[in-house]
Structure 1
Amino acid sequence: MGVLTGKTALVTGASRGIGRGVAERLGRDGPRIAVHYGSDKTAAKETVAAIEAAGGSAFAIGVRLGMPGDADRLWEEFDRHADGLDILVHNAGIGTSRPFAEIGEEEFDRLFAVNVKAPFFLTRLGAERLRDGGRVVNISSGLARAAAMPQLIAYAMTKAALDVFTRDLSKELGPRGITVNSVAPGIVDTDVNAAWLRASEEAWQEAAALAALGRVGTPADIADVVAFLVSEDGRWVTGHWLDATGGSLT
């Protein structure tokens, strides 16, 4: 029997990349997984199928984040499938490559709507569904504390805001035995990063060299960290920013 059998988890942005890796990894530990997706229904169904093929249980929820009323709609969908929540993983997010001098207000607002506002209100409106002793994990980024990268300034700002949310929410939910933590990946081999990571062998090697461990991260590397935090073994860790960059910040 899995260590999380009988529990229910929601992973946002779980149709691909890190989110899919987290959903599949947690699914092996026994909880029922709500696989959230924004637009790629086919990919979400593939995630559900992979979890079920491994002996787990899952269902998909399709709601585009960053839009007015997104949190209400997501919980309405969730409530059709489950009657409570134990684990909430905020993974859904968008990035940008526009530098400070070029980014416009619309793109800036969209970044904060998806990466900051959505997790905030999903948690606020979902707090009554989150059972005592539950877990909240926010997927941050090493960029929130790494050397300055002006071309990613707005994205890094959203992740820094998410880290403050983590810190303060841990105090808010702590009396209920709910832990809240941030996990900060570095460069991870996902389809979002594929274009530049796989542009050349040189690009790949340069990315790998940034990590003390000498390689590019995988979704599984991040998923295992999340699995620890949501398990009973992670019960005494809260309000924490966990560096999961493979030593890129050392």
Structure 2
Amino acid sequence: MNGQTVLITGSTDGLGRHLAVRLGAAGARVLVHGRDADRAERVRSEIRAAGGPDPVVLVADLASLREVDRLADEVARHLDRLDVLVNNAGIGFGRPGSGRELSADGVELRFAVNYLAGYRLTRLLLPLLRAAPGSRIVNVASAGQYPVDFADPMLERAYDGVTAYRRAKLAQVMFTFDLAEELGGSPVVNTLHPATYMATTMVRESGTEPCSTVAEGGDATLRLITGPASELTGRYYNGVREERAHDQAYDPDARRRLRELSDRLVAAAHARG
């Protein structure tokens, strides 16, 4: 990883933090992203203590598309190329009993953070990724996938946090397949379920007992960044095994409808200013 640049969204906790430190220690210049500057600075110090190049700290709330745009501008100010983008930032089911929430742009919050922010950020950063030979995009999704209902994509009629989370994660997978087909192998684009119920803040918040370690998820994700699977594109992995995703991910019409919905939501956010 010496000389390579890596942006990991949500790299101040859990899997993102684990990846940031491991990749930094391996010689990558890591762009540490989070919502909290103090926590991001702690990760930066951890990477420096491990002997890695001095990281760049980027603070942005991905629940706002304006902040996503600003994040992309910040990345472009620091870099003329980007070797790896890991769309890892996300929020879980929510606390038991919690209700439906909206982003700053009026989008259902889990769809906004877990999917739409990564969709927008990836598209904005494509010029930097194309400038780096062999660049890779890794979308951290989930084995928990639920089909997007295009008649009610924002879950206005019957909200449930688990359903909202799983819909957003399937949307990530659908975007991965769509983008891989569009790009034709450069950059390489893959997605994975890193591990089941890792010992993270997100899992604990939901009241679920962890059954995997963050290191297990890290190993699986690093395989898509640096291992043999990083040469393949448009694949979904459960851990280190390639598997079939939900059927909707393979439906070209559903992927087209998701792309059109995403572009409408982005355009509406910008129209509101």
TM-score range, shorter chain: 0.7 to 0.9
Aligned residues: 223
Pair 1:234 & 2:234 matched: no
Over 3 Å counting, the alpha-carbon distance change for 1:21 and 1:240 in structure 2 is same
**Superposed CA RMSD:** 2.7
Q: Give the partner amino acid of 1:125.
A: L
Q: 2 CA distance for matches of 1:36 and 1:102?
A: 26
* Structure 1 match to 2:167: 157
| Superposition TM-score, scaled by structure 2 size | 0.73
* Structure 2 match to 1:85: 82
SS in 2 for 1:66: coil
* Structure 2 match to 1:210: none
Match of 2:70 among 62, 69, 73: 73
Q: 1 CA distance for matches of 2:17 and 2:218?
A: 9
Higher mean alpha-carbon deviation, 53-62 vs 153-162, is at 53-62
Pair 1:125 & 2:124 matched: yes
SS in 2 for 1:76: helix
Deviation of the 1:30 alpha carbon: 1.6
CA displacement 1:63-120 (0-9 Å, x = unmatched)? 1112132232002222333221000000011123479x98436376121111111111
Deviation of the 1:143 alpha carbon: 1.1
Pair 1:222 & 2:217 matched: yes
Give percent identity, aligned residues only.
35
Over 3 Å counting, the alpha-carbon distance change for 1:15 and 1:97 in structure 2 is closer
Deviation of the 1:245 alpha carbon: 9.2
- Runs of 4+ aligned residues of structure 1 deviating over 3 Å after TM superposition are 101-105
Q: 2 CA distance for matches of 1:13 and 1:139?
A: 11
* Structure 1 match to 2:3: 6
From the two aligned structures, give the one with the greater strand fraction: 1
Q: Is the 8 A contact 1:22 1:219 kept in 2?
A: no
Pair 1:194 & 2:191 matched: no
Q: Give the partner amino acid of 1:121.
A: R
SS in 2 for 1:143: coil
Q: Which runs of 5+ in 1 are unaligned?
A: 198-202, 208-215
Q: Which runs of 5+ in 2 are unaligned?
A: 147-159, 242-273
Over 3 Å counting, the alpha-carbon distance change for 1:196 and 1:105 in structure 2 is closer
SS in 1 for 2:78: coil
Q: Is the 8 A contact 1:66 1:117 kept in 2?
A: no
Q: 2 CA distance for matches of 1:34 and 1:90?
A: 12
Q: Is the 8 A contact 1:187 1:245 kept in 2?
A: no
* Structure 2 match to 1:212: none
SS in 2 for 1:133: coil
CA displacement 1:214-249 (0-9 Å, x = unmatched)? xx2122111122212111533432211111299xxx
Over 3 Å counting, the alpha-carbon distance change for 1:94 and 1:84 in structure 2 is same
Q: 2 CA distance for matches of 1:8 and 1:32?
A: 5
SS in 2 for 1:136: strand
Match of 1:53 among 49, 55, 64: 49
CA displacement 1:128-187 (0-9 Å, x = unmatched)? 011231000011012127xxxx650111000000000111111222343x2111121310
Q: Is the 8 A contact 2:91 2:113 kept in 1?
A: yes
Over 3 Å counting, the alpha-carbon distance change for 1:182 and 1:106 in structure 2 is same
Pair 1:180 & 2:189 matched: yes
Q: Give the partner amino acid of 1:82.
A: L
